[in-house]
Amino acid sequence: MIGCILTGHGEFATGLSHSLTMIAGEQTNFEVVPFKEELPLKEFEETLSYQLTKLLKVTKGVVIFCDLLGGTPFNTAMVQSLHLENVAVIAGTNLPLLIEGSLLRLTAEDASQLANHLVTVGRESLLVAQVPKFEGNIAEDLIEEGI
């Protein structure tokens, strides 16, 4: 199993974690480390380090899911993972890649391989939605058929 840490600015990680739980159920070896405005940087760094160390003791590796490339959570994760084996960091985390990861990580052994696959899933989930033109009651048609 690959452990996971979800982090980001403000309530990003907490909110995404709640959404993941609604869809995929409770997650084991999955930690949420929010970077809140009022939190001193040193405390955030210590919490992230603690969770990373804890997960590496009980899993085969860890993927750290971050909200934003170049942000404090991402930069901190990169620095802390520099000299660690089987730790991967993802920037630009979205719900579809977390859902896929929640399933695949149970049997995965290589954090980088898993992370690369999940980034592909995350990219493929992005699109500009086009609602087809309908005759009649659009709302009823969409509810009955789905998008």
Query: pTM here?
Result: 0.89
CA distances from residue 122 to 41, 66, 94 in whole angstroms, order as listed? 28, 13, 6
The mean predicted confidence, pLDDT, of the chain is 94
Residue 141 pLDDT > 70: no
Measured distance CA(73)–CA(109) in Å, rounded: 24
Residue 133 pLDDT > 90: no
Measured distance CA(11)–CA(38) in Å, rounded: 12
What's the confidence (pLDDT) of residue 66?
99
Measured distance CA(147)–CA(109) in Å, rounded: 36
**Residue 48 burial (CB < 10 Å; 0-12/13-18/19+)?**
buried
Domain count across the chain: 1
CATH, residue 7: 3.40.50.510
Residue 108 pLDDT > 80: yes
Reported confidence tier of residue 145, pLDDT bands at 50, 70, 90: low
Residue 142 pLDDT > 80: no
Convert the pLDDT of each residue in 41-69 to its tens digit.
999 999 999 999 999 999 999 999 999 99
Q: What's CA 38's distance to the chain center, in Å? A: 23
Measured distance CA(121)–CA(17) in Å, rounded: 18
Measured distance CA(107)–CA(103) in Å, rounded: 8
Residue 141: domain span:
3-145
